[in-house]
Chains A and B, each alone.
Chain A
Amino acid sequence: MLRNLLALRRVTQRTFSTASRRHFENKVPEKQKVFQEDNGLPVHLKGGVTDALLYRATMFLTLGGTVYALYLLTLASFPKKQD
């Protein structure tokens, strides 16, 4: 967790450039540094805290949805009795 925060700090420290605000600056070297850091993190979590949050949200929705789907399919398998 702390390693992610430290990595995030490094990413947010921008070098000054002469490019005007309107144009895009080439941030690829910075990104290359972040993603090549030897911190043992897999690529899907290597970008920082946002990666972990997005991963957890995706997993939660997917697993939760699967349980919900299986519940609905079980329910649909037993038709309601007609009175």
Chain B
Amino acid sequence: MTHQVHPYHMVNPSPWPLTGALSALLLTSGMIMWFHFNSSTLLLIGLLTNLLTVFQWWRDVVREGTFQGHHTPMVQKGLRYGMVLFIISEIFFFAGFFWAFYHSSLAPTHDLGGCWPPTGIIPLNPLDVPLLNTSVLLASGVSITWAHHSLMEGNRNHMIQALFITIALGLYFTILQASEYYETPFTISDGVYGSTFFMATGFHGLHVIIGTTFLLVCFFRQLNFHFTSKHHFGFEAAAWYWHFVDVVWLFLYVSIYWWGS
């Protein structure tokens, strides 16, 4: 019987990279069909195959780590590097939208009235729901830290409660932001103000939804005893991502909601 003499993980052959790549093709060509030919079938198939791929791929990662024991300290180190690099790439993604906002708002052109906010735009009051949203996300940063410490101290019930509170705050943010979107007197097509506002806050909202989903997965894994007090990298990765989402919001609030009004 052969056995490995190194601490690395030689993964089984998997179909998910192929189905993932093809689902990306279906998503992009589906968007073309939707934008230009008013047909959403391909887009829906793309969304479905993408969801199926990510579900099965990450299910397999849980199996490999928690059930098969492949996540040695060396492997975990690689996973940590991977998550850090991914978050850095997301920082660059948002940097683009902030660049666009500052480009247009620091030197507003004459067709905007030479001022920011542009003539005719009624910005949202930063001391209203946006401030509440800020406190919601900051509080969720506290609760997720409480969850982590509870996990490290072996306090199962506290961990579950704190993670539940974090998820609830994330959902509350999403609901509040959705209602704000409904109430804004301006739309995405209202010049460069509308474009920068909705592109930056829209992608942020999407990341809040993704982060909340990641936390929910951690919640169910915790209920099912997957995490130990010493080994819980999935949770740590979710926590890092959640803090990143929080920090992006703080930049959004200060730049677009506060300074930009």
Contact = CB atoms under 8 A, between A and B. Distances in A.
A43 to B, nearest CB: 5
A39 interface: no
A59 B15 contact: yes
A61 B51 CA distance: 12
Q: Is the interface of A mostly helix, strand, loop or mixed?
A: helix
Interface residues of B, number: 38
Given A58-B19, A59-B15, A62-B19, A69 B29 contact: yes
Nearest to A51: B56
B26 A36 contact: no
Given A26-B225, A66-B26, A35 B63 contact: yes
B224 to A, nearest CB: 6
A52 to B, nearest CB: 12
Contact of B26 (A35, A58, A65): A65
Contacts, number: 95
Nearest to A64: B45
Nearest to B19: A62
A72 B49 contact: no
Contacts of A54: 52, 56
B53 interface: yes
Contacts of A65: 22-23, 26, 42, 45-46, 49
A27 interface: yes
B127 to A, nearest CB: 43
B14 A42 contact: yes
Contacts of A46: 63
Contacts of B52: 54, 57-58, 61
Interface of A: 24, 26-28, 31-32, 34-36, 42-44, 46-47, 54-55, 57-59, 61-66, 68-69, 72-73, 76
5 contacts: A24-B223, A26-B224, A35-B68, A68-B41, A72-B42
